[in-house]
Chain A
Amino acid sequence: MKKQQTGQPMNRVDGRLKVTGGAKYFADHQPADMQYAALVCSTISCGAIASINTTKALRAPGVADIVSHLNAPPVPGYKKTNPGDKNGLQIFRDNRIYSNGQPVAIVVANTMERAVYAASLVEVQYNQETHYTNMEASMDKAFQNNRMKDYSRGEINAWQKAPVTHSAQYTIPLEVHNPMELAGIIAHWTSPDTLTLYAKTQGVKSVQETIQELFEIPEQNITVHSRFVGGAFGMALRVWPLEIATILAAKKIRKPVKLVITREQMFTLVGYRPNSSQTISMGATADGKLTGITHEAVAITSPYEDFTEGIVAMTKFMYDCPNVNTRYQLVPLNMSTPIWMRGPGEATGSFALESAIDELSYKLKIDPLQLRILNHADTDPERNLPFSSKYLKEAYQIGAEKIGWSSRNPAPRSMQENGMLAGYGMSSGTFGAYRGKATVSAILKADGTLTLQSAAADIGPGTATAMVQIAADVTGISPDKITFMLGESSFPYAPEQGGSATVSTVGSAVSDVCHTLLKELANLAISQVPAFKQTTPEQIIYEDGQLITADRQTKITHEALLQQQKLPEVKVTATSQGGEERKKYSMYSFSVHFAKVHVHPTTGVVRIQHIVSVADAGAIVNTKTARSQMIGGVVGGIGMALTEEAILDHRFGRFVNNNYADYHVPVNADTPPTDVYFVNKKDPYINPMGSKGLGEIALIGFAAAVSNAVFHATGIRVRDLPITPDKLLHITSTENTNT
């Protein structure tokens, strides 16, 4: 029997390249005569540019040009109406300033240092207008976008009539993706209508499409390379103004131009998780059956685009509750446009929902895990459909056992260890299990190697590795003879890497194209190899790079088959997408997070001691990379729970902690032993592999597990993330200072 490759902890196919420096990220490319760019960004939050004085900057050594709204080449695709009409802020369109940090000019010089220095010499005068960056102070501007209308089933605000109720407000600050690799691009116009880009993107095809729309040049004239991405978490899901600015500069000076933005600029130029305020109200019967949930959310957006995400999505279907209503509003501020950040929307919403469930459990005096099980939704109450697969109860059971939930004393502030207050908390998360459309080409060479190509991305999860495993299982070709190539716009279409859908979408296309390839080989063997004449493609056994007759009496290797026919290669292409099954079933991945925390009784410092995260993500293609992905999501969740907060001074509309020292992403010392478990049961409907998405659920719900554990440890409920020491200080200080 052949060894199944999916489900194995296979090493990353590009791991060696990555750790030895052989992987080329966008900024590593070096086209001949490349010039370097630096941005000049607005220091006001609203108003207009009065003047730009470039005299000094143009005289600085090595400066090639300075491009601004005064001299930028036209972008034919910019609509003349709303500046955010389709592709976001229309860079260098006019002198309007919508947010602090908005690029107002791009300086190009023959070295990066010279560009940066010259940028500091550009003098910009502004006519400043009143700006709004404070959501709480701007609630009068709240409005509803048509994409996110009010939802209700049953009775509105039914929670109010319940015997046991809970209602509270939960707030999450603005968070910034902050991947290690900075944003930027290399743009090179090789002719007036031919453009080559080395990009940091989660989707080369969508970059190509956007550029085509904006510059109105043929798609085939736009080449986008993005083979390696140094982390993105959602920030590279669209083309940003900084990239258009670079393309314009390159067009003007007719040389390749590279821009890599600064860490400070990462806070204003590539999106963020919008700060939000949510009110969750819920009611239950005395024995813990939910009777009503009301979820109202407000989050910020930019003045020129309505950014929406699934903040209230989870509340609609997570629990078996007859009466649910939700409302989601946006507050436009003088800020750049947000973008999805890992676990988008649902990560925000789950903090409120899963905290509220925990709070209700204490009012009900029911174990919070038990309360969730009591209200488990066996079918999707929002769409009235069965779930394609749902093993959430198994996940709860695994997690509870591994963290030692039964040893938890249910009373808040009842447990101590080594002089620390100890607490256990848990929560659940969910995210849609998607499957989009993708095309993959398969090229089997006469040397027996198989190359697969698709314009997919890999922002870190190990896309190519998983694809090789899927292809190996279908074809019976050894994984070391299979190469999966991605990140090139010249490859067949794949969507952006987002929404935890790459394995499902591209993996299905890999599976399909491999089946197509086998059929092609079978037909070749049947028509050309006498021993296979009487057989059908379905009867042939495909193992170890061979075709084998059903009686196992005759074998022919792929090499021999192609060489016999003098074929240098066999190439097939297949497109794959979900079908009717998506209308018959609700498809979701689920996660369960358990955290054990210690809280220092006098300083309020929280240290997570142990984490158990369990995923119901269908069949796991690679248990090693999947585990890494879960841990990565958990680390992001630790940041959300305990450390991350981008702080604005509203007087200026400027961030005061826009660097790695002051914006605290978790470090190793914040990250305790993390045990990851997978239910690892196939979803029978979603795709050929039976795999659901994983990337988002790794983070979704996690922050609530921590805040629930902190409550259990201290008796203090923190509804305003992150849980920094000052928020827990009054554990003892009040009693002290009162004496």
Chain B
Amino acid sequence: MNPFSYVRPNSLKAAIDAMARDHSARFIAGGTNLLDLMKNGVTLPEKLIDINQLPLREIRQDGNTLHIGALVLNSNLAAHELVKTQHPLLSEALLAGASQQLRNMATVGGNMMQRTRCSYFYDTSMPCNKRQPNSGCGAIGGINRMHAIFGASDNCIAVHPSDMCVALAALDATVLVAGPKGERRIPFTDFHRLPGNTPQLDNNLAKNELITAVEIPTHPFTKHICYLKVRDRASYAFALVSVAVAMDISDNVIRNIRIAMGGVAHKPWRLPDAEKALTGKAPTSDNFRLAANIAIQGAKTYAHNGFKKDLAFNSIQTALLKAATA
């Protein structure tokens, strides 16, 4: 870990100003990922801007929107009554992530900003285009069991590790960010990026912008939901594949449905074609199989992650069935 300076601004403006003055700086909230990155020499900020003093810890209902402050802790969010009753999918996804200790430290904004867990990214003596552009992708010819099957590029096949973000992508959330030029809103599914030719960029947040909140619109997905996470260890393990499903069923017809996957792409992976195929259909195993088949079209696998295509196919059906019968 390199020596760094540390400031703890009291206002949003002061935090953004501090970042504008020093582009090697990083915001820190829970630090559950940033400290790892710093210890491994992956990120070498000369300044840390601690944002824990900022008033971004509120969870409130604003008309048809649930407003979640960026500094809300993952464990508090998962346990919040409004989340449990109105957005149970988010609660389930949060509780599937990390460990209790990490959830007690990790914030909503930090969770979105966490970087991939690709080993090549963390080992500075191995190549990684995300860490060091043009050094090559260690994973493509290396160990890639945990890596992407959708939306990857020849530069990077890393996956986004979050569970929370998969649920937020499914729930059509919006990200609120603040920067020197004021505030702006980013649809959640546009927040994270695919690697393309710029794998060093995880998301569309500008360097001196700060996430202030996430908003979730009111929706009917309170009953038929499922967050299925398949992993190598029962807790504290990243997803091999995860599936978030939320649906609204009446008269044995799927009126509305959201499906997203984790562990398969550089960003939370929404499945619009599968959603479309199921909308207006009966919640049957046959229809779920058809949807799963649509979902895995275009999957590209590598030496060690071929199983993910089959696992995705199975897991989507299992999650759909579980949500439908919930």
Query: Which A residues are closer than 8 A to B by beta carbons?
Result: 43, 61, 113, 116-117, 120, 602-605, 607, 642-643, 647, 649, 651-652, 654, 656-657, 661-662, 664, 666-670, 722, 724-726, 729-730, 732-733, 736-737
Contact = CB atoms under 8 A, between A and B. Distances in A.
B104 interface: no
B236 A661 contact: yes
Contacts of A607: 234
Interface stretch (B117-125, B208-216, B274-282): B117-125
B232 A643 contact: yes
29 contacts: A61-B3, A113-B1, A602-B318, A603-B228, A603-B230, A604-B311, A605-B231, A643-B232, A647-B143, A649-B126, A649-B138, A652-B125, A664-B232, A666-B233, A667-B234, A667-B235, A669-B233, A670-B235, A725-B230, A725-B231, A725-B311, A726-B240, A729-B307, A729-B311, A729-B314, A730-B310, A733-B311, A736-B289, A737-B310
Nearest to B235: A669
Q: Which of B119, B138, B238 has the most CB of A within 10 A?
A: B119
A603 B143 contact: no
B232 A656 contact: no
B141 interface: yes
B269 interface: no
A654 B317 CA distance: 37
B46 to A, nearest CB: 13
B123 A656 contact: yes
B143 A656 contact: yes
Interface residues of B, number: 36
B244 to A, nearest CB: 15
B142 interface: yes
A602 B240 contact: no
Contacts of B3: 61, 117
A33 B141 CA distance: 49
A654 B123 contact: yes
A669 B317 CA distance: 25
Contacts of A732: 314
Nearest to A42: B125
Contacts of A604: 230, 311
B41 interface: yes
B2 interface: yes
Contact of B307 (A642, A664, A726): A726
A667 B314 contact: no
A426 B2 CA distance: 52
Q: Which of B3, B41, B314 has the most CB of A within 10 A?
A: B314
B237 interface: yes
Interface in B142-157: 142-143, 145
Given A647-B143, A651-B141, A656-B143, A667 B1 contact: no
B318 A603 contact: yes
A662 B117 contact: yes
A649 B311 contact: no
B232 A724 contact: yes
A642 B99 CA distance: 19
Minimum-distance CB pairs A-B, first 9? A669-B234, A656-B119, A726-B307, A43-B125, A733-B310, A602-B314, A669-B235, A664-B233, A670-B234
Contacts of B91: none
A61 B240 CA distance: 43
B264 to A, nearest CB: 14
B107 interface: no
A59 to B, nearest CB: 13
Given A120-B2, A726-B240, A729-B314, 6 more contacts: A116-B1, A643-B233, A668-B235, A669-B233, A669-B235, A725-B240
Interface string B126-142: 10000000000010011
B310 A649 contact: no
A654 B125 contact: yes
A651 B318 CA distance: 38
B221 interface: no
Q: Which of B141, B232, B238 has the most CB of A within 10 A?
A: B232
Nearest to A121: B2
Contacts of B240: 725-726
Contact of A117 (B2, B138, B231, B317): B2
A729 B305 CA distance: 12
B188 interface: no
B315 interface: yes
B178 to A, nearest CB: 31
B310 A656 contact: no
B160 to A, nearest CB: 15
Given A654-B125, A654-B126, A662-B117, A733 B313 contact: yes
A555 B196 CA distance: 90
Contacts of A642: 232-233
Contacts of B311: 603-604, 725-726, 729, 733
Contact of B315 (A602, A649, A651, A657): A602
A720 to B, nearest CB: 13
Contacts of A669: 233-235
Contacts of A726: 145, 240, 307, 311
Nearest to B306: A726
A654 B232 CA distance: 21
Interface string B41-79: 100000000000000000000000000000000000000
Contacts of A667: 99, 233-236
Interface in B250-290: 289
A113 B318 CA distance: 48
B102 to A, nearest CB: 10
A651 B230 CA distance: 29
Interface string B168-189: 0000000000000000000000
B96 to A, nearest CB: 11
A605 B233 contact: no
A736 B233 contact: no
A128 to B, nearest CB: 12
Contacts of A730: 310
A725 B230 CA distance: 8
Contacts of B235: 667-670
Nearest to B305: A726
Contacts of B1: 113, 116-117, 120
Contacts of A603: 228, 230, 311, 314-315, 318
Contacts of B234: 607, 667, 669-670
A668 to B, nearest CB: 7
A125 B142 CA distance: 24
A667 to B, nearest CB: 5
B142 A656 contact: yes
A737 B316 CA distance: 14
Contacts of A670: 233-235
Contacts of A643: 232-233
B76 to A, nearest CB: 22
Contacts of A602: 314-315, 317-318
B313 A736 contact: yes
A620 to B, nearest CB: 31
A656 B145 CA distance: 11
Q: Which of B41, B117, B233, B317 has the most CB of A within 10 A?
A: B233
A651 B126 CA distance: 10
Given A43-B125, A667-B233, A732-B314, A661 B142 contact: no
A647 B232 CA distance: 14
B114 to A, nearest CB: 12
A666 B311 CA distance: 22
Nearest to A608: B234
Nearest to A728: B307
Contacts of A656: 119-120, 123, 142-143
